[in-house]
Amino acid sequence: MSLTPEQQAEIDALRASPAQTLRVVSPGMEAHLYRAYPVLDHGFVRVIDYMGDDAAICQAARVSYGKGTKSVQNDEGLIRYLMRHWHSTPFEMCEIKLHVKLPVFVARQWIRHRTANVNEYSARYSILDREFYIPEPDALAAQSVINNQGRGEALSGREAERVLEYLKGDAARAYDHYEEMISDEGQQGLARELARMNLPANIYTQWYWKVDLHNLLHFLRLRADAHAQYEIRVYADEICKLVADWVPAAYSAFEDYRMGGANLSAKALECIRQMLKGAEVTQESSGMSKGEWREFRALLE
Amino acid sequence: MSLTPEQQAEIDALRASPAQTLRVVSPGMEAHLYRAYPVLDHGFVRVIDYMGDDAAICQAARVSYGKGTKSVQNDEGLIRYLMRHWHSTPFEMCEIKLHVKLPVFVARQWIRHRTANVNEYSARYSILDREFYIPEPDALAAQSVINNQGRGEALSGREAERVLEYLKGDAARAYDHYEEMISDEGQQGLARELARMNLPANIYTQWYWKVDLHNLLHFLRLRADAHAQYEIRVYADEICKLVADWVPAAYSAFEDYRMGGANLSAKALECIRQMLKGAEVTQESSGMSKGEWREFRALLE
Amino acid sequence: MSLTPEQQAEIDALRASPAQTLRVVSPGMEAHLYRAYPVLDHGFVRVIDYMGDDAAICQAARVSYGKGTKSVQNDEGLIRYLMRHWHSTPFEMCEIKLHVKLPVFVARQWIRHRTANVNEYSARYSILDREFYIPEPDALAAQSVINNQGRGEALSGREAERVLEYLKGDAARAYDHYEEMISDEGQQGLARELARMNLPANIYTQWYWKVDLHNLLHFLRLRADAHAQYEIRVYADEICKLVADWVPAAYSAFEDYRMGGANLSAKALECIRQMLKGAEVTQESSGMSKGEWREFRALLE
Amino acid sequence: MSLTPEQQAEIDALRASPAQTLRVVSPGMEAHLYRAYPVLDHGFVRVIDYMGDDAAICQAARVSYGKGTKSVQNDEGLIRYLMRHWHSTPFEMCEIKLHVKLPVFVARQWIRHRTANVNEYSARYSILDREFYIPEPDALAAQSVINNQGRGEALSGREAERVLEYLKGDAARAYDHYEEMISDEGQQGLARELARMNLPANIYTQWYWKVDLHNLLHFLRLRADAHAQYEIRVYADEICKLVADWVPAAYSAFEDYRMGGANLSAKALECIRQMLKGAEVTQESSGMSKGEWREFRALLE
């Protein structure tokens, strides 16, 4: 990660100036505010602001149920109930604003989550920094031979070396030419909005990303999942830690019902019922396809 | 308005317990937090939480432009620029959560603004209170004779009296029967989710409503407008005051560009150009319809 | 249901005038177009327009996978795969527009589904018809004694009679007064936007509702569910039949994975793994709450 | 543009197979269905499906106003009224699905319009084609000296040549290396999801993009505007032509009220009122900033 001394000084200054508020405060989150947590080689995630906590989720739920505002003792049970029954609106009552620095190809996946607010660094307006994501050796993975959309083992030897040479060399050359094209020394200088098209998808961008807790958890369920691309999963993993400190009860329920849980089809449920009765069930008798059956079996082991 | 002593005590307690935070604080908004501002005869609006301030809008805009984080002196100018050019994403970086008590027919208009989070009191689950909106004499308006969707002068005399009798009498009877139907004394008691259907649209409901500043301003533009129904406009007016204290620069730009401004068509702009050159322009020569021409003339006077 | 002869004639005329199109056509849906299917005592659902079919879902999925456009034989398998893995974007590529007539208290639940387009009959502008939902005897249910948000058995005898008297009598009186208040005979006449507040929540309204297939299926999952209120469930059930004819493969996958399926928590999965190994599992050892354990056991029976 | 003979044959086949439908048909749009209209050097826009027409907009509006379904003569006036008064919901009742091939840096701007459905070609799953956007000489513009976010004149001479050399050479090399890295001949082959990061932002991608007419017009207002980047504006311009044939009345109202119109602030309106009375108004007396005054003056000329 590359925070300039200037940026670090700004973070320190912000963290040194507490103010009084009448709002709900999450002590777990206050400890994280503004701090930049490194992700990948030059990226980071940091919390700029937040609204609400576990109690705010319950408070909103209790508006619906028409009972006062608080009854601290059962908050955890209520949150588990809400999560289990997909009562999502109370989770929407919490909000978080993150500052993220990330490679463009990760940003392109991330932005597909539409229910969020975004302000991204504009390469029409400003000049991008010379920072590119270059994978660590163990992240330099081969194409999976069983999954068109996945990875196999890490490359090794000469092949790994060559890939790194290409990635580094092409990025460096592309950036040199970018700089040269936009330079106005002794020439007109190409418009920034055009010059940026020469830059590869591993260049870093940054944005402010604001989202409510329900939609954030949905993002985390998909992106902290084992099937997500590694380069976005490391961001999701980092955010998971922040959320666990911000709304511990909600995060714990999320882990049980979403991250660790599974969705079973009617066919799968029927198979389980048969199996619990001691019946033999096979892929053929299950009515599932081979792929589905494989996933089902894996779940039970 | 009818806050119970219990509710008032809770508000007082919340206002008496400041906490420390590292987040951005809006002093103007802190003064309003939790307080219930009366609207109509039993309704209110109060701020439960907020995120961001004028500086947060600028900070987000500057992420896009790639320049540090702060330069306080020009914030107002930057905000005006953003508002003028419909750069709406920085305004989405502020968020507010309101607790609103309002008649059901107002709630039905309000909910049509889809980009917001809502937790409403559930009449499936809980019993509604005996509170109905009964208009003040000067709000008891006749149907407009020129506008199918508007009001004329206030009713008077016997007609006004009769309307009030009907509204009060029907509401009271409907509520008596509601109570009687759900009672389980000496009978089974009708399900709440069914009994509520007997209640008229002027009964009060309440909800938590969370929205970002951009969408809130859009709501206010439509609902604080002179063409909005009076009963929702008074809520919008009250919220305007809160926003003015929360984000003074954004609110001031909103007043100039949205509330006080107007959208002119290509035809209207061409008319103005001709008129400024001293040419005579008529409805016929303008290419506008009669209604459009009337609106256009009214704008210039 | 109450279609006027005029409305029926219009439907007949629309159905008698086929046109040529180059678009994808769903024969199953064409058979339903414009026809009004009765729901409750005065309501209906009818399809006004639609876009796409099962093949269109696959076509969109194949854009992502980068392979031509068609390979008809495997469409069903692909659709099951998409549904199983929550790849929701291809389902968003189909769209439907419905005309629905429904009681206001049902409309209030329905509108909470935000990702849809709506044009509702305006009682500010126009006069509502004298049509109220009055439950059939077997839908006149008592409050559940185990579920705050549910129904028990049907009321009977004198209690049922009294409820019907109240519902009918109050609705009739409220509507009489509504008519009297807005009348301009011998008086000014109250504004429609005010007079409507006297009408109870079982009066009928109508709207055009347009939604994509993904969001429609989400709506159906919640509203065709056994826990949904009966009065919205009958609409959802009717729409299910339409969807089954429109996109048979998608609907079949939806039935298997969503309607008939279940979401299991990490704890529940672990219990099943233990049980399949022959271990005894109890509520205490499961780590679940009593309510959760009850739901879990019910699922396995 | 590069349609393969296979793709062209498919388009021809689709256009040769009309079917019967009872749905509303827009003859103007039928003529465009499936045809690929070239944009930039390798891109295109084509309509895959649509729902609704001008009459469907009016039909939805009339549901709100409670009057039958049709009265063809006044449709144009009604549409102008709806557009003028920002009654946007009836325009949401039309929908369009486009297939677009576009450079990645254009796709990144486009996707910021969140209220739409998208299925994009997946470079995790499939291999991207060797196609890059290389600007025509007159689009090879210098950075604007007055606008940080704009273009000046076209580059010329040796500078233009060098820019083209860089863009072409870097793209070719990056793609050669991409191919080499993913190759599994004599090596493991890098995962596609990683190899794609070496490709520059002018490589082409493609997607299905589905959006309602209201949100499409919003997109066009921003992207067919003179301030939009040329490379997205040419797509917007092409879509404008399609919309003009699809919903001629709505498009004509859009041109008058949105594209050719302007938003005036309260201050600007007051200036115009003064000027029409013959008063002298200056930047100082207007209360506007210099930039704002310049924009205001330009509007009146």
DSSP annotation string for C92-136 = GG-EEEEEEEEEHHHHHHHTT--SSEEEE--TTTSPPPS-B----
What residues 146-175 of chain A have any CB closer than 8 A to a CB of chain B? none
Which residues contact residue A97 at a Cβ distance below 8 angstroms, ignoring those fewer than 6 apart? A47, A48, A49, A50, A208, A209, A210, B51, B52, B93
Is A280 found in the same domain as A251?
no
Please answer yes or no on whether A261 and C261 come within 8 Å at the CB atom: no
B70 neighbors B128 (Cβ within 8 angstroms): no
Determine the Cα–Cα distance for residues D207 and D210; give it in Å rounded to an integer: 10
B57/B124 same-domain check: yes
Catalytic residue, chosen from A223, A233, A258, A273, is: A223
Q: Length of chain D in residues, anyone?
A: 301
Q: How far apart are the first and last CA of chain A?
A: 39
Tens digits of residue pLDDT in C191-240 = 999 999 999 999 999 999 999 999 999 999 999 999 999 999 999 999 99
Contacts of D260 in chain B (CB under 8 A): 265-266, 269
Q: Does A20 contact B15 at a Cβ distance shorter than 8 Å?
A: no
Q: How confident is the model at residue B70 (pLDDT cuts 50, 70, 90)?
A: very low
Q: Which of residues 76-115 of A touch D (CB under 8 A)?
A: 103-105, 108, 111-112, 114-115
Q: Cβ D199–A201 below 8 Å, yes or no?
A: yes
C177 and C250 in a single domain? The answer is no
Contact D268, B257 (CB under 8 A): no
Whether residue A198 and residue D167 make contact (CB cut-off 8 A), yes or no, is yes
Name the 3-class secondary structure at A246.
Answer: helix
Q: Choose, out of B15, B100, B102, B117, the residue to mutate when testing the contact with A (most A CBs < 10 Å).
A: B117
The tens digit of pLDDT for each residue in A45-61 reads 999 999 999 999 999 99
With a pLDDT cut of 90, the percent of chain B lying above it is 88
DSSP state of C42: T
Give the side-chain half-sphere CA count within 13 A for A261: 18
- Residue B248, C-beta contacts closer than 8 angstroms, at least 6 positions apart: B28, B54
C72 touches chain D (CB under 8 A): no
CB A256 within 8 A of CB C267: yes
Q: What's at D255, amino acid-wise? A: E
Whether chain A has a CB inside 8 Å of the CB on D196: the answer is yes
The residue ranges of chain C whose pLDDT is under 50 are: 68-72
Total-model pTM: 0.96
The distance of D103 to chain A (nearest Cα, Å) reads: 9
CB contact under 8 A, B200 and C202: no
User: How far apart are the C-alpha atoms of D291 and D59, rounded to whole Å?
Assistant: 44
Chain C residue with Cα closest to D50: C51
Average pLDDT across chain A, whole number: 93
- Name the domain count of chain C: 3
Name the residue among B148, B260, B264 with its Cβ closest to that of D262: B264
pLDDT at position C4 is 83
Q: Chain C contact for A257, CB < 8 A?
A: yes
Distance, CA of B106 to CA of A13 (rounded, Å):
46
Last residue of a domain, one of C180, C201, C222: C201
Give the gap in angstroms from C-alpha A188 to the nearest C-alpha of chain B: 22
End-to-end CA separation in angstroms for chain C: 39
Please answer yes or no on whether D125 and C210 come within 8 Å at the CB atom. no
Q: How far is CA D127 from the centre of its chain?
A: 26
Predicted confidence (pLDDT) per residue in B165-220, tens digit: 999 999 999 999 999 999 999 999 999 999 999 999 999 999 999 999 999 999 99
Sheet holding A117-120, edge to edge: A37-39, A43-51, A95-103, A204-212, A117-120
Nearest chain C CA: its distance from B263 CA (Å): 24
Do C56 and C182 fall into the same domain?
Answer: no
Do the beta carbons of residue A60 and residue A78 sit within 8 Å?
Answer: no
Contacts with A, C 205-244, CB within 8 Å: 222
DSSP code for C132: B
Domain boundaries, position C282 = 266-299
Annotated catalytic residues of B are 223
Q: Is residue B119 within a helix (H) or strand (E), and if so which, with residue range? A: strand B117-120
Calpha distance D243→D224 (Å, rounded)? 13
8 Å CB contact of B191 and C125: no
The Cα angle at residue B84 between residues B81 and B87, in degrees rounded to 5: 75
Indicate yes or no: CB of B66 within 8 angstroms of CB of A99: no
Closest CB to B276: pick one of D264, D268, D276.
D276
* Neighbouring C-beta atoms of residue C282, cutoff 10 Å: 9
Identify the closest residue of chain D to C7 by CA–CA distance: D68
Shared-domain flag, residues C21 and C167: no
CB contact under 8 A, B273 and D77: no
**How far apart are the C-alpha atoms of C23 and D25, rounded to whole Å?**
10
Which of D84, D265, D269 comes nearest B292 by C-beta? D84
> What residue in D sits closest to C213 (Cα-Cα)?
D117
The chains found to touch D (3+ Cβ pairs under 8 angstroms) are: A, B, C
Exposed e or buried b per residue across A76-111, where buried means at least 16 C-beta atoms within 10 angstroms of its C-beta: bebbbbbbbeebbbbbbbbbbbbbbbbbbbbbbbbb
Of C111, C159, C182, nearest to B188 by CB-CB distance is C159
The set of residues, in sequence order, having a beta carbon less than 8 Å from that of C119 and lying 6+ positions away, is C207, C208, D60, D61, D63, D64, D89, D90, D93
DSSP string, B127-184: PPPS-B----GGG-EEEPSS-TT-EEEEP-HHHHHHHHHHHHHHHHHHHHHHHHHH--
C211/C241 same-domain check: yes
pLDDT for C73 equals: 54
pLDDT in tens, A137-196: 999 999 988 777 788 999 999 999 999 999 999 999 999 999 999 999 999 999 999 999
Q: Answer whether residue A173 is part of any domain.
A: no
| Under 8 Å between Cβ of D103 and D43 | yes
Res. D73: pLDDT tops 70? no
**Predicted confidence band at D236 (pLDDT cuts at 50, 70, 90)?**
very high
Q: Are residues B230 and B97 in the same domain?
A: yes
What is the token pair recorded at A114? Answer: 């539409």
Tens of pLDDT along D166-186? 999 999 999 999 999 999 999
Closest approach of D86 to chain B, Cα-based (Å): 9
pLDDT at B1: 61
Calculate what percentage of chain C has a pLDDT beyond 70: 97
| Tens digit of each residue's pLDDT (9 = 90 or more) over A236-287 | 999 999 999 999 999 999 999 999 999 999 999 999 999 999 999 999 999 9
Query: What mean pLDDT comes out for the span D109-131?
Result: 95
- Record: contact D276-B300, CB cut-off 8 A: yes
How many residues would you count in chain B?
Answer: 301
Structure tokens belonging to residue C136? 């059939």
Test D63 with C10 for CB contact under 8 angstroms: no
Q: Are residues D124 and D217 in the same domain?
A: yes
Residue C173 has which token pair? 């009186």
| CB-CB neighbors (< 8 A) of B171 in chain C | 198
Are C18 and C161 in a shared domain? no
Do A219 and A245 lie in a common domain? yes
DSSP D111: T
Give CA–CA dist A98/A239, Å, rounded. 9
Indicate whether D31 and D99 sit together in one domain: yes
CA–CA dist C55, C59 (Å, integer): 6
Residue D261 near residue B261, CB atoms below 8 Å: no
A192: nearest CA in chain D? D143
What CA–CA distance (Å, rounded) separates D225 from D230? 9
Q: How far is A76 from chain C (nearest CA, A)?
A: 11
Handedness of CA C39, C40, C41, C42 (dihedral sign): negative
Q: Catalytic pick from D15, D62, D151, D223? A: D223
Q: D194 in contact with A at a CB cutoff of 8 Å?
A: yes
Rounded Cα distance, D290 and B246, in Å: 28
Residues B90 and B168 in one domain: no
C167, C184, C229 member nearest B193 (Cβ): C229
Interface of B with D in 45-64 (CB under 8 A): none
* pLDDT higher than 80, residue D259: yes
pLDDT at site C186: 93
% of chain B beyond a pLDDT of 70: 97
* Residue A96, strand partner residues: A50, A211
Which of B194, B204, B208 would best serve as a mutation to test chain C binding (most C beta carbons within 10 A)? B194
Angle between helix B54-65 and helix B75-84 axes, rounded to 10 deg? 70
Give the domain CATH number at B218. Answer: 3.30.1360.170
**C chain contacts of residue A268, beta-carbon cutoff 8 Å:** 261
Amino acid at B272: I
Contact across the interface for D201 and A200, Cβ inside 8 Å: yes
The set of chains that have 3 or more CB pairs under 8 A with A is: B, C, D
